[in-house]
A and B are shown apart, each in its own frame.
Chain A
Amino acid sequence: MSEIILKNVRKDYDNKSTVIENLNLTIASGSFTVLVGPSGCGKSTTLRMIAGLEDISSGELYIDGKKMNDIDPGDRDIAMVFQNYALYPTMTVKGNIEFGLINAKIPKEEREQLIEEIIDIVGLREYLDKKPSQLSGGQRQRVALARAMVKKPKVFLMDEPLSNLDAKLRNQMRSELIELHHKLNATFVYVTHDQVEALSMATDIVLMEKGKIRQHGSPHDIYTYPKNVFTAQFIGTPEMNIIERQKFEAIATLPEQIAYIGFRPSKVKMYEPTQDQKQKLVFTGTVLTKEMLGSEIIYRVQTNMGVVAVKMFSDINLNLDDEIKLSLSYSSIHCFDENKNRMDILRS
C-alpha cells in the first residue's frame, strides 16, 4: 500500500515563473485519484514531480512514508502512462514491455512469466512481435498500460492517457481502467482536463486551478457540494448557472451575505401546479436555443435573472421562442459569498 504526500511543495521554472507556490496534498493509498483542472493549472507538473521527472524546487514528497525528493524516477516503484504513449518505436511490443524488467535485472524466465501474465489482460498476444507503428491507437494504449503494469508498481501515474483516442474507445478504456484499478489494488494518480473522465473514474478528485487545490473530495462530494464557484462551474455539463445577487433579486429576495447563487441546469423543471409551491422558486422565460443531446435536451432560456441553461429529458420537447414557466427546488440552490466560497445557509 502506498500513500503519497506532498508537503509545502513549490515549483519554479528557471527561477522565474512559479507554477506551484505551496501545495499540500495527501493521496490515499489504493485510491484512484484524478487531478483535474484547466490547462496550466499545475496538474501535470504535480504528476511529473511525483514521478521524479521534474525537480521539486522546495518542499517534500513522500511515497509510502519514504522521502522521494532525491530518488531517481526508476527507483520510486512507480509506473507512468503518457499521453502520446511514448512507446519505444524501434522495439517490438514485447521489447517495450520487457525493457523495464531487463533494466531491473529480472531473470529471463521470470520476465517471460510476467509478460505471459499481462499479455492476455491487455489482449495483445498476437501482436507481441509487431512494432508500435503497426498498431492502432487503442492497441498502442494497451501496450503502454502493459508496460506499466508488468512492473507491478505501487503507484500508477497517468498523464491524459485517453485523450488521443476516439470517443467510443475512450469510453471503453475508461471502464477497463476502473476494472484494472480494482484488480491491481495499487494507487492510481491520473491527470486529465476532462471533468467527465474525472467523475466517472475517480475515487478521489483533486480539482486544481493556477497551482492551487480548489477542492479535494469524492466525485459525489465535489458534484453535490462544490466548495466554490470555480468547482461548481468546472464540474458538470452544461456548467452550473451562477447568478449574481442583484440579478437574482429580480425574482426572489436573498439573505444578506450571499453574493452569488448557483443551480445545476438539470435541477430546473417545468412548472406543475400540483407541486408544493412553498419549497420551490417559480419563474418564467423564453427559449433562446436548443441543443439536442439524445436522451436530454439543453435549452438556453431568457429569464428575468438573465440567460439560464436548462437540461431536460427529451420527452419534453420545446420550440424556440416558446414562453415557459419553470420551477427550481430551494434545496438544489447553492450559495456563495463575495469571495465565491460556499455558504450553507439556504440548505437547512
Chain B
Amino acid sequence: MKIVKKTPRILITIILFLIFFFPFYWMFTTSVKTLGETVRIPPTMWPEIFQWENFKRAFEAIPFMQYLGNSVIVTLSVLILQMCTIVPAAYAFARYKFKGDKILFGLIMITMMIPAQLVFLPLFVMFSKLGWINTYQSLILPFASSAFGIFMLRQTFKQVPKELIEAAKLDKASEFKIIRKIMLPLARPTLTTLGLLTFINTWNDYFWPLVLTTKDTVRTLPVGIASLRNIESGVNFHVLMAGNVMLVIPILIAFLLAQKQIIKAFTYMGDK
C-alpha cells in the first residue's frame, strides 16, 4: 500500500534525475567515443571503445595550459582585489557616519544593476585608447570590486556588537587590528560565500574575455574551449565534449567538495 502510494513520487524523482544529470553523463561519454560511435543511430549508452585521444587532441589543438594559467591568474587577481576593495568600503559604510555616505552607498548599489553586457563597448573604446586590449588588466580591473559584496559585508559588519569594538579599543587595539582580529574573523562565513560566488562567476565568464581579447596569450578557458569549434569542424562533437569536460571539471569538483556551502551561498544571495 505504502509503495503504491509512493510510486509516482519515485517516478518523478527518477525523471528529474535523468533530465538534470543525463546531459552531463552524455557529455562525459561522448568525450571518449570515436567519431563513428557519436553519429551512430541508435546511440550507445556506454562507449564501446574508450578513445582517450580525444582529450589529447583537444589539448593539443588549443594552448590549453595557457588558457588554464590565464583563468587562474584572472580569477585569483579578481578575488584578491575584490577583498582589498570590499573590506574597507564595507567597514566604512557600516561603522562610520560621514557626509554623503548614503549617496555614495546608493551610487554603488546602482552599479550592481549595470551588467558588463551593457558597458563593454565604451570600455573597449577606452581600453583600446590605453592600449589595454589583450592585457590582463582589462580582464581584471573592471571586476576589482563588487557592489553586492559591499552590500553583504556591510550587513555583516553592522551586526557586530558595538561593545566588542569598544573592548578592543580599551585593549589598545588599533583600528587596523580591530578589522583584522575581530571584524574579519567574525565575517568569515560571509567572506567565504562572497569568495565562492566570485570564483564561480569569474571562472565561468565567457562574455568579457571574448569581447576584450583576440590573442591566446590572455584568453581564459571558456573562450579558449569555444575556439575548438572553429578548429575542429562542427561535427567533431567528441573532441568538443572532451574540451568541455576539461572546462567543467574544476567547477564540478569544487561543487562536489563544497556543495552545501555553494548552495547556501546562492540562497544567501537570493535572500537579501
Direct touching of A and B (C-beta under 8 Å): yes
- Whole-angstrom distance between the alpha carbons of A290 and B6 in the complex? 66
- Whole-angstrom distance between the alpha carbons of A73 and B181 in the complex? 18
The yes or no answer to A78 lying at the interface (CB within 8 A) is yes
- Whole-angstrom distance between the alpha carbons of A311 and B179 in the complex? 55
| A residues lining the B interface (CB < 8 Å) | 51-53, 72-75, 78-80, 82-84, 86-91, 99-100, 103-104, 147, 151
- Whole-angstrom distance between the alpha carbons of A147 and B51 in the complex? 67
The yes or no answer to B4 lying at the interface (CB within 8 A) is no
The interface residues of chain A lying within 8 Å CB-to-CB of B171 are 74, 99-100, 103, 147, 151
Judging by beta carbons under 8 Å apart, are B161 and A90 in contact?
no
Residues of chain B from 131 to 180 with CB closer than 8 A to chain A in the complex: 161, 163-164, 166-174, 177
CB within 8 A of A80: which of B167, B182, B186? B167
The yes or no answer to B185 lying at the interface (CB within 8 A) is yes
12 contacts between A and B (CB under 8 A): A51-B170, A53-B169, A86-B161, A88-B167, A89-B164, A91-B181, A99-B171, A99-B173, A100-B172, A100-B173, A103-B173, A104-B172
The interface residues of chain A lying within 8 Å CB-to-CB of B170 are 51, 53, 73-74, 78-80, 100
- Whole-angstrom distance between the alpha carbons of A87 and B177 in the complex? 16
User: What are the 8 closest A-B residue pairs judged by CB atoms, nearest first?
Assistant: A74-B172, A100-B171, A90-B185, A86-B163, A103-B172, A86-B167, A82-B163, A73-B169
The answer to whether A75 and B172 touch (CB under 8 A), given A84-B161, A86-B161, is yes
Residues of chain B from 174 to 213 with CB closer than 8 A to chain A in the complex: 174, 177, 181-182, 185-186
Chain B nearest CB, measured from A110 CB (Å): 15
Residues of chain B from 8 to 44 with CB closer than 8 A to chain A in the complex: none
- Whole-angstrom distance between the alpha carbons of A89 and B163 in the complex? 12
| A82 to chain B: closest residue by CB | B163
| B residues lining the A interface (CB < 8 Å) | 161, 163-164, 166-174, 177, 181-182, 185-186
| B166 to chain A: closest residue by CB | A53
By CB atoms of chain A within 10 A, which of B170, B171, B185 has the most? B170
The interface residues of chain B lying within 8 Å CB-to-CB of A72 are 169
- Whole-angstrom distance between the alpha carbons of A100 and B174 in the complex? 11
| B188 to chain A: closest residue by CB | A90
The interface residues of chain B lying within 8 Å CB-to-CB of A89 are 164, 186
The interface residues of chain A lying within 8 Å CB-to-CB of B167 are 80, 82, 86-88, 147
| A157 to chain B: closest residue by CB | B170
The interface residues of chain A lying within 8 Å CB-to-CB of B182 are 88, 90
Given contacts A88-B167, A88-B181, 5 further A-B contacts (CB under 8 A): A53-B166, A53-B170, A83-B163, A84-B161, A147-B167
The interface residues of chain A lying within 8 Å CB-to-CB of B169 are 52-53, 72-74
Judging by beta carbons under 8 Å apart, are B168 and A99 in contact?
yes
The interface residues of chain B lying within 8 Å CB-to-CB of A80 are 166-167, 170
CB within 8 A of B173: which of A74, A87, A147? A74
The answer to whether A84 and B163 touch (CB under 8 A), given A74-B173, A79-B170, A103-B173, is yes
| B177 to chain A: closest residue by CB | A103
The interface residues of chain B lying within 8 Å CB-to-CB of A90 are 182, 185-186
The interface residues of chain B lying within 8 Å CB-to-CB of A103 are 171-174, 177
The interface residues of chain A lying within 8 Å CB-to-CB of B186 are 89-90
- Whole-angstrom distance between the alpha carbons of A91 and B186 in the complex? 10
The answer to whether A86 and B172 touch (CB under 8 A), given A99-B181, A103-B177, is no
- Whole-angstrom distance between the alpha carbons of A52 and B169 in the complex? 9
Chain A nearest CB, measured from B99 CB (Å): 14
Chain A nearest CB, measured from B266 CB (Å): 25
- Whole-angstrom distance between the alpha carbons of A52 and B172 in the complex? 12
The interface residues of chain A lying within 8 Å CB-to-CB of B161 are 84, 86
Chain B nearest CB, measured from A234 CB (Å): 27
The interface residues of chain A lying within 8 Å CB-to-CB of B172 are 74-75, 100, 103-104
By CB atoms of chain A within 10 A, which of B167, B169, B172 has the most? B167
| A80 to chain B: closest residue by CB | B170
Judging by beta carbons under 8 Å apart, are A86 and B166 in contact?
yes
- Whole-angstrom distance between the alpha carbons of A170 and B185 in the complex? 32
The interface residues of chain B lying within 8 Å CB-to-CB of A78 are 170
| B173 to chain A: closest residue by CB | A103
Judging by beta carbons under 8 Å apart, are A88 and B168 in contact?
yes
Chain A nearest CB, measured from B184 CB (Å): 9
- Whole-angstrom distance between the alpha carbons of A327 and B172 in the complex? 60
The interface residues of chain A lying within 8 Å CB-to-CB of B174 are 103
| A75 to chain B: closest residue by CB | B172
Chain B nearest CB, measured from A70 CB (Å): 14
The interface residues of chain B lying within 8 Å CB-to-CB of A53 are 166, 169-170
Chain B nearest CB, measured from A340 CB (Å): 36
| A78 to chain B: closest residue by CB | B170
The interface residues of chain B lying within 8 Å CB-to-CB of A91 are 181
Chain B nearest CB, measured from A117 CB (Å): 18
- Whole-angstrom distance between the alpha carbons of A79 and B169 in the complex? 10
The interface residues of chain B lying within 8 Å CB-to-CB of A79 are 170
- Whole-angstrom distance between the alpha carbons of A90 and B182 in the complex? 7
- Whole-angstrom distance between the alpha carbons of A88 and B170 in the complex? 13
- Whole-angstrom distance between the alpha carbons of A52 and B167 in the complex? 11
- Whole-angstrom distance between the alpha carbons of A75 and B170 in the complex? 8
- Whole-angstrom distance between the alpha carbons of A75 and B174 in the complex? 12
Chain B nearest CB, measured from A205 CB (Å): 25
Chain B nearest CB, measured from A15 CB (Å): 13
| A95 to chain B: closest residue by CB | B181
| B184 to chain A: closest residue by CB | A90
